[in-house]
Amino acid sequence: MSTILITGAGTGFGKEIALRLAAQGHEVVAGVEIIAQVTALREAAAERGVELEVVKLDVTDAGDRAQFADRDIDVLVNNAGVSEGGSTLDIPAARLERQFDVNVLGPVLLTQIVGRRMVRRGSGKIVFMSSVAGLTTDPFTGAYSASKHAVEAFADALHQELAEFGIQVATINPGPFLTGFNDTMFETWKEWRDDPSTRVFDYEELAFPHEQFDPEPVFETTVAVVTGEDTAYRHVLPIDTVDATWKQMDEVWARHQNEGRERAPLVQKAYDIEPATPAE
């Protein structure tokens, strides 16, 4: 059985993935952002009848990252992440910085620590919980999407750089899944310390502009990637959204600059859709 370190395991994808891997008998080290999540995750593990090690691991904290300098980890799952919603013109500087600190800099710096030990050992696997937003971009998700585009770049570089050392790299690219993550992205404006009168948009009127899916495929696929059952590099989920993702990526090549004053379709949908709308 492998020793697996999962960041952001206090909630969402990370929590369920940690519990499922522990149920398979793996030695799971579940990192949570704040100390208050430690007890909650231990209780969840007890309820499921599984054992895992829960540690405080805020990926932006150098001291938290340093605790793994002397530990051998077989698989690192960089799952920790936050999502900042809002127009690129409106998001305050401090919120932009946090978006990249949590989603990019923290995970990469942790990967340096864990990855060097993998290189010395001659084996290992690094899995990045990226996003479809790392391949495409929607309105009001520019900051989050930019952070995930950066994750994709680091993952691609590592895939090439670490091949000779026997280290595998993979990405998980979830689309819109109904975990609460996407909807709370469109509520982060409530924490901004700015002058609301200067904002381009009224965020009380907007919601995440996509119907959302049951997250089961993300759990199943990530577990399969971690355990080696699935050896593909990139995993766009749900599977039946792959073609639409390719189409959205290709359309950029034929795009022209804006003409006139027509509102973009997904901007309009953000006004029209209700939060947490499930996909049919």
Catalytic residue positions? Answer: 144
Q: Which pairs count as long-range contacts for 147-152, CB under 8 Å and 24+ apart, including other chains?
A: 147/81, 147/99, 147/100, 147/103, 147/104, 148/103, 150/100, 150/103, 150/104, 151/78, 151/103, 151/104, 151/107, 152/128
Strand locations in 141-246 (E)? 167-174, 234-237
Cα 16 to Cα 35, 59, 112, 198, distances in angstroms: 19, 19, 25, 40
Q: What residue type is assigned to position 183 of the chain?
A: D
Q: Minimal CA–CA distance to 56: which of 74, 68, 72?
A: 68
Cα(266)–Cα(58) distance, rounded to whole angstroms? 34
3-state helix, strand, coil in the chain (%, to 5): 50, 15, 35
Whether the bond between 217 and the residue before it is cis, its omega within 30 degrees of 0, is: no
